[in-house]
Structure 1
Amino acid sequence: MIGLSFVAFVDILGFGEMVVADYENAAPGTTYLPSLKAAIHTALASATSINSKITQFSDSIVVSSPFSTSCEEFEQHLRLVRDLQSLLFNAGILCRGGISHGRHFHDETLLFSQGLIDAYRLKSQVATDPRIVVSGETLDLLYPTGAKLDFLIRDVDNEAFLDYLGHLDGNHVSGILEKFRPSLTKSSPRVRSKTAWLYRYANFCHEEIMLPELITMRRSNNT
């Protein structure tokens, strides 16, 4: 039956390039596929313990958990999605997405969901950078006096997103970021903007991570 659920829609950034890289490799399927599979299977182990579901298809991941007015159960859902995003980052994979709530059906073969449509809208219209934005309506419902969660950050546009780097070691984050540094110069303006946002977010979480000169130069030129 269709019931209320918390729903996350996650979009894997650069998925097409990942597929091409894997299948143009001398050993097809050994570049990104094992890391993506490991991240999702690790998250699935946690999902089972809280009666949540995870489905991945093409560049999309859907995570759903039974709805509850209990803040504790909502926070379990947020942690599950946050940890999945951290696992993907550790594998050098960025994503963006949205988290909402609504009527939702999710089994082994079928997704039929109002909550998924709302989460997808957040992904498409709001979470333009590598961040997973949480619906303001959902937060207002669960936290009518305001949400102050350790794993949520308010961005400059006042949208709340999952903090997937703050709980990781700063040196580790710095090392992973090096994989994305070439995108600051060799990719499209859209990709450069997403990469610059990632570096600014990492610097916010870990002050020891310095912003590349290219980012500070562009910021100075725009002022």
Structure 2
Amino acid sequence: MILSTQRNQSGSKRKENEALIITAAEKIFADMGYAGATMQQIADAAGLPKANLHYYFPTKEILYRNVIDKIFNLWLEAADIFDAAEGPKDGLSSYIDAKLESSRHFPNGSKVWANEVIQGAPIIQDYLESKLTAWTHSKAEIIEMWIAKGLMDPINPKTLLYFIWSATQHYADFQHQIRTLNNNSDLTEAQWREVKEDIKKLVLKGLGVKQVSECPTISDE
């Protein structure tokens, strides 16, 4: 029983330290880029000895990939609604809301991703060719199904996804510019709500999105 408790405490401490390091790494990688960041800078930001950093993440690339994993998994979770949504109104609305919440609370991870891709993805090209490609294909199939059912106007699914990514991730990647244009202040809760509603309005009205109940051929099935 004592050994089990000790193992649980050890595992909890490990997760706590890993989360601390990844959060610090997000900021350093976002500010300095992969090439400019050092493990010492990240250790200092995390308030841990450099040796501890290497214990959890032996190399800078391993740590960098963990940072990428974190933001990508957040984006995957944001899209979970796609698979369960009755139609595009619920699916796209929830996806936009979740993506904006990710940009609001985890801007540094998004910046790391953007900087990496802008440079031609030298570290994570395999990631783009595998995980991102498979994910994009699966969501495109759902969008095509909605179009086929008459729930939204025809559009290339990738164009729609790219539009949502650019509109939502802009609030993370260009955080400083948005803050400057907002009288050097962070967006308020009310402003974030307005952003969500505005982007959803652009997407849903622009694509003529309908509720399932508005399509007799579907609701009668």
Settle same-fold status: TM greater than 0.5.
no
Task: Report which of the two structures shows the higher radius of gyration computed on alpha carbons.
Answer: 2
Structure ranking higher in strand proportion: 1
Higher relative contact order (CA 8 A, sep 6+): 2
- Give the TM-score of the pair, scaled to structure 1: 0.29
- Give the TM-score of the pair, scaled to structure 2: 0.29
Structure ranking higher in helix proportion: 2
